[in-house]
Amino acid sequence: MKSVNQHSPLSKLMKLSFAFLLFFTINLSAQQGDATKGKQLFNANCAACHKLDKKLIGPPLKGVTERRSNEWLQAWIKDNQALIKSGDADAKEIFEEYNKMPMQAFPQLSEQDINDILAYTDDKPAAKAETPAAGGGEDMSQSPEVLAGKKLFNTNCAACHKLDKKLVGPALGGITDKRETDWLKAWIKDNAALRASGDALAKEVFEENGGAPMTAFPQLSDEDLNAILAYTKYGGKKDVIVDGKDALVETAPKTPFPWQATIAAVVLLVFLIWAFTKNKNGFVKFLSLIVVLIGGAWFAFGYMMQVGVDQDYQPIQPIAFSHKIHAGDNKIDCQYCHSSAKHSKTSGIPSVNVCMNCHKNITEYEGPVTAEHDKAFYDGEIQKIYDAIGFDPETRQYIENYEQKPIEWVRIHNLPDFAYYNHSQHVNVAGIKCQKCHGPVETMDEVYQYSPLTMGWCVDCHRETEVDMTKNGYYKKIHEQLAKKYGVVKVTEAQMGGLECGKCHY
């Protein structure tokens, strides 16, 4: 009981031609604007307030051409205020909806420019696929070809090959730089045949790798081979770097085991035991006693001197804020966040409004991830500031009447109460870089105390540092007098009175 449609050849032709026409028109309309160029224009002009898929200051713009006509959009982008004044109902409505926040007018954009931008808002995936090619191979490792190649590599080659290391066969990362593509393809498809054909290179490779024949892969198409080779060229690089980083992180903190010191200590211990038990010579016993006393004093002194010194203290912070990402990768100046360092005794923990200057926009993490910390982990850390201040990243609005919570941090650098230290004096007047005392903070994922913060450490610096008088007329007279008194050209901080007890202890 099936009803079968009878197609006449004519109706088939009609349908086909209609489909052809439709296809052609779609193609035409897509060609009206250049999405790649549109992306550039969008990023330069619109992205400050608009995203494609999310609300920012203005509405999300993906698929906006389906909601509004091209003429309306042209008029709106060129001068939205004029459009609103002309009494256009749509324009008024959107203006009201977005809190009467006027949008920047863009009279400098041509009709073609706007069409490009609209083409970009239309087809994000296409634009995305184009960018890696346009980017000159900046991030080829994520291109579809390389991803396909990775899959094929893992199913066919990975049993015997790695990209960065020799396994059964040689390492294949960057193999395309060493051998010609055609040779590689012939080799992979049937290496035995290639060797039999008398290819010298093939024989050499065979000998070099211990003469174990490699499986032939006649089932792999040319396309597959291209993908695999693309993966060996681009795919591995990222993996290798991440591997290298992990290895670095693991090995870096390990200091070599002090074998010599241990052996010396054991020998000394055995000698002392012998001296106090089996030995009958009184003088040796006396000598040993002195050694024990001096050694004991040395250890006791060493222990007592480090009481209250917190060098290398690295507590776990409630938010895994990475100075490496902020100050290192993104090169944000220390004082952007620690803004009170220039005027105040304390360098200042930034209040959340400073975090929000950037994180109003950056709601999720897009950087490289490690096995330990994935994207969800970093996103969760960003979410913690939103929880504290009451911000909804979906609507990009502060929640009204939200009970804000303070963010707790664990204090690392902590001078005892009897020592006075002033940041502004050191940052502004002396012009010392933060890193001098705090170490390479821009490389620290977790901050630790770099300096011992002992009095000896302060005094050392005060003795060495010459005072820069050129930019500060305030000290000019006293500098001349002091230079005469000490008979030097440049006066150090210590000679200025930087060692007086009362300067720091009062």
Partner 1 sequence: MKRILKLSTILAVVISFTACGDKTKRTPNLQFMPNMYEPVGYETYGENDYFKNDMATRLPAKGSVARGEVPYEYPDTNEGYEEAKLNLKSPYPATKENLENGKKMYDIYCAICHGKKGDGQGQLVKNEKFLGIPNYKDRDITEGSIYQVIMYGRNLMGSHASQLTEKERWQVTMYVEQLRNDLIK
The footprint of partner 1 (CB under 8 A) covers 42-49, 56-57, 100-102, 108, 253, 257-258, 262, 265-266, 269, 273, 277-278, 306-310, 312-316, 329-333, 335-336, 339, 343, 345-346, 349, 351, 353-354, 356-358, 360-362, 405-406, 408-409, 411, 414, 416-418, 448
Q: How far apart are CA 273 and CA 255, in angstroms?
A: 30
Q: Identify which of residues 156 and 335 has a Cβ nearer to partner 1 in the complex.
A: 335
Q: Identify which of residues 238 and 396 has a Cβ nearer to partner 1 in the complex.
A: 396
The answer to whether the CB of 370 falls within 8 A of the CB of 364 is: no
| Burial label, 182 (beta-carbon count in 10 A; 0-12, 13-18, 19+) | exposed
Nearest to residue 393, comparing CAs of 382, 404, 401?
Answer: 382
- According to DSSP, residue 85 is labeled H
CA distance to 314, 332, 428, 454, 505, per residue, from 437 (Å): 16, 19, 15, 12, 20
To partner 1, the closest distance from the beta carbon of 161 in angstroms equals: 35
To partner 1, the closest distance from the beta carbon of 243 in angstroms equals: 22
The answer to whether the CB of 247 falls within 8 A of the CB of 165 is: no
The answer to whether the CB of 149 falls within 8 A of the CB of 142 is: no
Q: How far apart are CA 15 and CA 7, in angstroms?
A: 10
To partner 1, the closest distance from the beta carbon of 92 in angstroms equals: 16
Q: How far is CA 217 from the centre of its chain?
A: 40
| Burial label, 156 (beta-carbon count in 10 A; 0-12, 13-18, 19+) | middle
End-to-end CA distance of the chain: 104
Helices (H), 231-281: 236-251, 259-277
Q: How far apart are CA 36 and CA 88, in angstroms?
A: 31
To partner 1, the closest distance from the beta carbon of 106 in angstroms equals: 9
Q: Identify which of residues 243 and 310 has a Cβ nearer to partner 1 in the complex.
A: 310
To partner 1, the closest distance from the beta carbon of 19 in angstroms equals: 39
Q: How far apart are CA 151 and CA 224, in angstroms?
A: 10
Q: How far apart are CA 448 and CA 321, in angstroms?
A: 13
Q: Identify which of residues 247 and 265 has a Cβ nearer to partner 1 in the complex.
A: 265
Q: How far apart are CA 171 and CA 165, in angstroms?
A: 5
Q: Identify which of residues 100 and 178 has a Cβ nearer to partner 1 in the complex.
A: 100
* Token reading at 413: 């650098």
To partner 1, the closest distance from the beta carbon of 235 in angstroms equals: 22
Q: Identify which of residues 128 and 405 has a Cβ nearer to partner 1 in the complex.
A: 405
Q: How far apart are CA 337 and CA 342, in angstroms?
A: 11
To partner 1, the closest distance from the beta carbon of 225 in angstroms equals: 34
Q: How far apart are CA 388 and CA 392, in angstroms?
A: 11
To partner 1, the closest distance from the beta carbon of 222 in angstroms equals: 36
* Token reading at 128: 């995305």
Nearest to residue 81, comparing CAs of 61, 112, 111, 105?
Answer: 105
To partner 1, the closest distance from the beta carbon of 38 in angstroms equals: 13
Q: Identify which of residues 143 and 232 has a Cβ nearer to partner 1 in the complex.
A: 143
Q: Identify which of residues 125 and 308 has a Cβ nearer to partner 1 in the complex.
A: 308
Q: How far apart are CA 159 and CA 142, in angstroms?
A: 23
To partner 1, the closest distance from the beta carbon of 382 in angstroms equals: 12
To partner 1, the closest distance from the beta carbon of 57 in angstroms equals: 5
